[in-house]
Structure 1
């Protein structure tokens, strides 16, 4: 029973346990990344693997629930880092780092692509796989340059890390480029500012440029004083004094070394104090202050428990050789000289080995980066060719579309023109019919007027016979009544109107019945208009009997020997 209660209490405690990342969801989205990174560094990173991985899995759940895409990418990247801490370089960490990059690419987050790529580079660097480390760090830097360094959080720290790795490889030119970029950033951490300035000074000192080396050491000191950092003040005083010493400016070097030694001892920076004391001892020897020199050497020896490196021993032996020779202690001088030669040989071998390793590393790294550049160049070339084909095809499609649209527009324009022409033709035909109808109506009215005149003529003939004045009027009136209404001018006007209404009628008539007289043609056209014999007679200046005979004669010409078929039917067939 007691065991059950204990288990239950433990379970309840576990269920009620607050996760280290629980407060992240309450933060604004812009503040979550920095807060998560801070919590990881301080509260998760160095925990046992079970606790750390459980916390990161909780972070993944929080990111998924918030649908915070950058945080989701970071959670995967941190999980990769944690597995690497317990397993070293391993397939799972490598996969998780690449998964984080792919996730950022899928989410279209270029900044996260760059950050996750840089983290993959640092992962390789931590396990001394330098070719891959530089490949991914440089890829990340290209992304950051495209985005603009101002858009990248902690960019100064990122640039400093890359610059420092180049410095360790001995590639001072590239190292300086990255470290100079650190100084251009608006936001630089205190440590990064001082360390990057100090590394720039070391680069120039390695290259024999003592003027710029001194300049950057002084900038490092100024930053240390401004930040009230006594440790870095001591380091800076020591570095500046070292340059003064090698320039023979002992009066300027000594007080800086003394101040640096005091600061170093106060803050337990014993290696720095050790080196300062021995350098001060050498100045004392050169200025014949031998007792003070011995005191400085003894003080340095007292710190040997904190400093046990070949370089430290070399510094001690150099000071002892000078002191023993100056005090005529030849035996001790020879012994110190022997030890100095041994340690120099050891350092030389070590230095040569380091230089050789750096050369091999640089060669391997350069070869790897060149291979990557070649692959990327081939990929770009293929992409350019593919894009060129796509562009050509697109242009062809565009040309075809333009031609299609042009032809469609032309067809539409032609159709509109045809429609307009058709409407004009219909309007002209309508007008011609109206004019022909008006012409015929006018002719009918004239005929009616003539009939009235004829009736009036008959009346006058009966009533005014023998009157000379009226006899003359009767003669003129009789000529008017029997005159031809369809003159040549009238006929031409009539024919023009008729041809507009009955298109090509006279042409077909000429083809079907060649050799017709003008009167026959006029009569046929009046038949086509369905006028009666009286109307035809008045229009042609003939009497009705003459019209009837003319129509019978025409019928015989058109269809001889076919009785019972009227002229009207024959004319309508033309």
Structure 2
């Protein structure tokens, strides 16, 4: 059984009375609302969905069941939802309660301070709890609240704030961002700001549209913009796209609206016969679904066609119907009332009733003046709105900084950053090339030094080998000299051999030549020797150099022209001079240097 609206109201009041008298019994009972049996907790179903879907589930449940129930019950249910949110530690769900309370008063009390206060509480709560997305959505909702009641400047400000908040989050990360764009587009269109409306609609089409109905609305509004700019062919294209979408989705309301809009274009093109069936369909569908304003607009188009056909009687009857349709309209309809008065005056003139026509003409002029004043007020609000758009001041207590300037500033920062990045890349590449070049030079230099060291090592080995061969000659000379002395040979021959032997002993010149080669192989040897043992003489260093080359006592004796015994004594004397421990040999010490 279906409840009538009166029965629902009576039931709601009865429940409120029962709750105030017997709260215990009501808490244990079940509530019946809109043919739905509601369990003890009015938002029990919300607790059964995932955290990510709770806010949407709560909103859908509220709009379906509690949006039009008595205030006390509605507020009690929403307070219970708030308690549930706190128990679940769900800050987002808790913030939604403020938004739903604002919506309730907007629906049931129209423009009111309670809605404004609750929207602000929702925004503040979201801000305090770092709910960036929720804050942006509530800013948009408050903008829609002001827009619905024609507070256009305030609405514009909140839309600007919400879009800036969406931008900070990232438009791609905002669910249903296409819907928010299309709603703002509708706001601009109603103000006659078709350029901004078109921009918003084009932005909305970049994102996935949640429902086919929203997509139809976008296509239809784009068509209206083209129609307003007298681009009739483009308007027809978009109206037909909207109509096809409506037919595909069996959306009878939109089928009627889109059909009527197509008829309006043909009417503007003076193709009355072609326009008539479209407009008639729109009128019938609008009546069927209770769209009185849209039905009136369609009916006045039919009146104009009857005027052109000289169907005076039918036209006047339709004007009477139009007057009934807009009677006690909750939204401003001065423009429709003005059109009705104008058409009545024209009809009575056609009927040859100048007095009656004059009476309606006077009423028309008064209504037209009022409409002009109303439009002037709207125009002033548009100017204010455009001023807000131009400034976009970034202040918490006043308007935010001009959004366009912020965009340019961000773009400038990005460009500067990009240029710096390019410069850094160029510098990095140049530095990399320099490093690579330096590495190549170092590698080349190392190869050269290695080659030179290798060559010097070979030269030192060759020189050392020559010294050893020299030693063999000296040994040979010594043997010959000894044998000749034993045989009492001629003293002149012995002297000659001694001169030859002396010629192969390391002279000062030979030592200097040898020292140059040795330094190339062991560049720090002499410096380290002098640093560690500062009291050593040049003869001592010469002996240590030969020891570094691992020369034997006999080889050293031959090269220095002394006996092997003399070499041993020189090494003992040198060890004491170097203050070496007894267990450490002079050879071990030199090899470590």
Query: Shorter-normalised TM-score: what interval?
Result: 0.5 to 0.7
Q: Contact 1:101–1:116 (CA<8 Å) still a contact in 2?
A: no
Q: How does 1:210-229 map to 2 (within 5 A)?
A: 210-229=232-251
Partner of 1:52: 78
- In the TM superposition, 1:554-573 aligns within 5 A as none
Question: Residues 450 and 49 from structure 1, CA distance in 2 versus in 1: closer, same or farther, beyond 3 angstroms?
Answer: same
Q: Counterpart of 2:218 in 1: which secondary structure?
A: helix
Cα offset, 1:453, TM superposition = 0.8
Counterpart for residue 486 of structure 1: 502
Equivalent residue number for residue 370 of structure 2: 350
1:165 to 167, 187, 198: 187
SS class of match (2:386): helix
Match of 1:97 in 2: 123
- The reply to whether residue 175 of structure 1 matches residue 205 of structure 2 is no
Question: Are residue 203 (structure 1) and residue 222 (structure 2) matched?
Answer: no
Structure 1 residue 358: Cα displacement: 2.0
Structure 1 pair 452–45 and aligned structure 2 pair: CA distance change class (3 A): farther
Which ranges in structure 1 are unaligned for 5 or more consecutive residues? Answer: 1-5, 65-71, 462-473, 505-520, 541-567
Residue pair 1:163, 1:179 contacting (<8 A) in 2 also: yes
Q: Is the 8 A contact 2:485 2:494 kept in 1?
A: no
Superposed, which structure 2 residues align to 1:284-433 within 5 Å? 284=306, 286-288=308-310, 293-295=312-314, 297-298=316-317, 301=320, 304-308=323-327, 313-318=337-342, 320-328=344-352, 330=353, 333-335=354-356, 337-372=357-392, 377=405
Q: Deviation of residue 161 (structure 1)?
A: 1.0
Deviations 1:483-514 (A, max 9, x none): 5621277535754488689999xxxxxxxxxx
Once the two structures are superposed, residues 267-296 of structure 1 have per-residue CA deviations (whole angstroms, 9 ceiling, x without a partner) of: 45555555655654554454455xxx4255
Report the Cα distance in structure 1 between the residues aligned to 2:408 and 2:242, rounded to whole angstroms. Answer: 44
| Pair 300,155 (structure 1): closer, same or farther in 2 beyond 3 Å | same
CA distance, structure 1, for counterparts of residue 234 and residue 300 of structure 2: 26
Partner-residue secondary structure (3-state), 2:487: helix
Rounded to whole Å, the distance in 1 between the matches of 2:86 and 2:369 is: 50
Give the structure-1-normalised TM-score.
Answer: 0.60
Which whole-Å deviations, capped at 9, do the CAs of 1:19-50 have from their partners, x for residues lacking one?
61654564384x55543442343346556223
TM-aligned CA deviation for residue 239 of structure 1? 3.7
1:138 equivalenced with 2:160 (yes/no): yes
The Cα offsets for residues 166-200 of structure 1, whole Å up to 9 and x where unpaired, read as 12222121112223444565435344334334433
Aligned partner of 2:88 in structure 1 is 62
Instruction: Name the SS of the counterpart of 1:88 in structure 2.
Output: helix
Name 1:513's counterpart in structure 2.
Answer: none
Determine the C-alpha separation between the residues in 1 that align with 2:221 and 2:325. Answer: 24
User: How large is the Cα RMSD of the aligned pairs?
Assistant: 5.8
Deviations 1:328-377 (A, max 9, x none): 4x3xx421x23422332233223222222222212222223333265664
| 1:20 equivalent among 29, 43, 64 | 43
User: 2:282 aligned with 1:252, yes or no?
Assistant: no
How far 1:160 moved relative to its partner? 1.7
- Structure 2 counterpart of 1:449: 479
Q: 1:165 to 1:275 in 2, by over 3 A?
A: closer
Q: CA, structure 1 residues 287+487, in 2 after alignment: closer, same or farther (shift >3 Å)? A: closer
The count of corresponding residues between Structure 1 and Structure 2 is 472
Structure 1 residues 378 and 315, CA gap change in structure 2 (3 angstroms):
closer
- Whether contact under 8 Å (2:42, 2:77) holds in the other structure is no
Q: Against the structure 1 CA distance between its residues 89 and 287, is the aligned structure 2 distance closer, same or farther, given a 3 Å change threshold?
A: closer
Deviation at 1:226, TM superposition (A): 3.2
Distance change in 2, residues 1:89/1:194 (3 Å)? same
User: Bigger radius of gyration, 1 or 2?
Assistant: 1
More helix by share: 1
Question: Which residue number in structure 2 is paired with residue 156 of structure 1?
Answer: 178
Q: What's the offset of the Cα at 1:163?
A: 0.8
Within 2, Cα distance between the matches of 1:176 and 1:361? 20
| CA contact 1:221–1:232 (8 Å) conserved in 2 | yes
SS at match of 2:507: helix
Point out where structure 2 has 5 or more consecutive residues left out of the alignment: 1-21, 31-38, 106-112, 328-332, 394-400, 520-524, 527-537, 547-552, 563-571, 578-593
Q: How has the CA–CA distance of structure 1 residues 445 and 27 changed in structure 2, closer, same or farther, with 3 Å as cutoff?
A: same
Asked if the contact 1:260–1:276 (Cα under 8 Å) also holds between the matched residues in 2, the reply is yes
Which residue in 2 is equivalent to 1:79?
98
Q: Distance in 2 between matches of 1:499 and 1:274?
A: 118
Contact 2:299/2:322 (8 A) holds in 1: no
Which structure 2 residues correspond to residues 183-194 of structure 1 after superposition, within 5 A?
Answer: 183=205, 185-187=207-209, 189-194=211-216
Instruction: Quote the offset at 1:266 in angstroms.
Output: 4.2
Alignment partners' CA distance in 1, 2:340 and 2:408: 58
CA 75–288 in structure 1, closer or farther in 2 if over 3 Å, else same: same
What is the match of residue 514 of structure 1? none
**Comparing 81-90 with 164-173, which one deviates more in the overlay?**
81-90
- For residues 242 and 515 of structure 2, the distance between their equivalents in structure 1, rounded to whole angstroms, comes to 110
